[in-house]
Structure 1
Amino acid sequence: MTRTHLAAAVAIVLALLFAGVATVATAGGKGGEEEARTPAADSADAGFARDMSDHHQQAVEMSFIVRDRTADEEVRRLAYDIANTQANQRGMMMGWLDLWELPKVAMDQEPMAWMGTPSHGSSHSPSHGSSHGSVHGSSPGAQGLMPGMATKAELDRLRAASGKEAEVLYLQLMIDHHKGGVHMAQGCVDKCEVGVEQRLAQGMVDAQESEVRLMTDMLAKRGAKPRG
């Protein structure tokens, strides 16, 4: 592990710890009100926390990969920001599941079933907003992945690439990933009942749509464009 990679990993671990402490402190201050609103295991709140945690984990993984495959500071800075932000948010969501005493893995539920559109056998073509277009990378049902998630073959391609090739592939994969994430986050905005989780989801929609526009511009500077 390089010194830069180690420093980034330490920062993300600290972000996870901070997110967990902040989550406990926030919920603890609500007392009985928070306890009365504890979501059910099959609720949109629990489903979103589980599925988006998995979705975020892959974004963190891809961001670490590209930071080792290019020396371009613009891409490395973006990758660090995405990894740090999404690791922090993942820590919050996992913390909520702990507070609600709900499982972090629901083996009996399809991914995104809480949206009414499970990932297997359904079409996911988000239509809310400018960057909610069709999601590439993982077609519905491909390897059981949620929309926007990269396949194993795509991750292997990213690991094998370097320089400009790695930058372009990362940006394309992350745009797809963000579009899938925005689709899911919008589902929580519409269906979740816990206010703090709805607000986090809306923040994801706003931030990731902005990053999609930024990454599209970064691709253009490299003579490429999104796959969608």
Structure 2
Amino acid sequence: MRLPPVLRRRGVLVVVTAVLVVALSTLAFRLWYLWPPADTSVEAGFARDMQTHHAQAVRMALIVRDRTTDREVRTLAYDIATTQQQQAGQMYAWLDMWGLSQASLGPRMAWMRQDHHTGAGAAAMPGMATPAQLKQLEQAGGKDAEILFLRLMITHHQGGVQMAQAAQRSSQPQVRRMAGAILAAQNAEIGLMRRMLTARGATETPPASG
């Protein structure tokens, strides 16, 4: 059975569009591989520093899974650990493909401060828990561990959101997509963790002592 001319033209248009999409994707990948970002670029800095940031989130998630039996907290911790391990693996692979080292000789977080007029400067990695806070989480248990984890992870996610927002100025679509995925996931999880704190009768900021 012969298709009507209108349907035949639509079919040809769909095929041509698909071929163009594949061709453009292939070209983008070749450019990504043949002309990699510079060692001091936003892309390289984001890939390196977000791996470090993700590694601490994974560590906190694994700690709390051993410190509580609460299903909701354990599920959240598992989701954070698996998602961020996978993303860190992708960023490791980027650096390897670009022929760049996993560590930079320059100051950490300089890529977030790059500006046409001021140049680059080092900055603290936002949202990171201190060694004392990590030790406190390791020593806590039950509801106390849950509340501490939620507070620390909210702050940690807020820092991750800042880093992902800065990475969206990248010229590389793969990097912008990764940054967008981090923004969406971590903003959603911040909202969830705030609700979980409320359900446990706790606030985002611990009450002042004294």
Same fold, judged at TM 0.5 (above): yes
Work out whether residues 37 and 194 of structure 1, in 8 Å CA contact, stay in contact via their aligned partners in 2: no
Aligned to 1:209: 187
Work out whether residues 56 and 87 of structure 1, in 8 Å CA contact, stay in contact via their aligned partners in 2: yes
Alignment CA distance shift 1:163-1:28 (3 Å):
farther
Aligned to 1:82: 80
CA distance in 1, matches of 2:48, 2:143: 34
Work out whether residues 66 and 170 of structure 1, in 8 Å CA contact, stay in contact via their aligned partners in 2: yes
**Is it true that 1:171 corresponds to 2:155 in the alignment?**
no
Alignment of 1:94-173 (within 5 A): 94-106=92-104, 108-116=105-113, 118=121, 120=123, 140=124, 146-173=125-152
Aligned to 1:186: 165
Between Structure 1 and Structure 2, whose CA radius of gyration is higher?
2
Q: Runs of 4 or more off by more than 4 Å in structure 1?
A: 27-31
Amino acid at match of 1:114: W
Aligned to 2:89: 91
Question: TM-score, length-normalised on structure 1?
Answer: 0.73
Cα offset for 1:93? Answer: 0.3
- Percent identity between the two aligned chains: 48
Alignment CA distance shift 1:116-1:173 (3 Å):
same
Work out whether residues 33 and 97 of structure 2, in 8 Å CA contact, stay in contact via their aligned partners in 1: no
Amino acid at match of 2:182: M
CA distance in 2, matches of 1:217, 1:171: 10
Aligned to 1:124: none
Tell me the SS of whatever aligns to 1:94: helix
Structure 1 stretches lacking a partner, 5+ long? 1-26, 121-139, 141-145
Question: TM-score, length-normalised on structure 2?
Answer: 0.79
What is the CA deviation profile of residues 37-71 of structure 1, one whole-angstrom value per residue up to 9, with x for unaligned ones? 31000000000000000000000000000000000
Work out whether residues 51 and 111 of structure 1, in 8 Å CA contact, stay in contact via their aligned partners in 2: yes
CA distance in 1, matches of 2:53, 2:37: 21
CA distance in 2, matches of 1:168, 1:196: 35
CA distance in 2, matches of 1:42, 1:119: 12
Aligned to 1:61: 59
Work out whether residues 64 and 146 of structure 2, in 8 Å CA contact, stay in contact via their aligned partners in 1: yes
CA distance in 2, matches of 1:109, 1:151: 23
Cα offset for 1:119? Answer: 5.0
Structure 2 stretches lacking a partner, 5+ long? 1-24, 115-120
CA distance in 2, matches of 1:157, 1:211: 22
CA distance in 1, matches of 2:103, 2:148: 30
Cα offset for 1:28? Answer: 8.3
Aligned to 2:174: 196
Cα offset for 1:148? Answer: 0.3
Tell me the SS of whatever aligns to 2:168: helix
1:49 to 47, 50, 54: 47
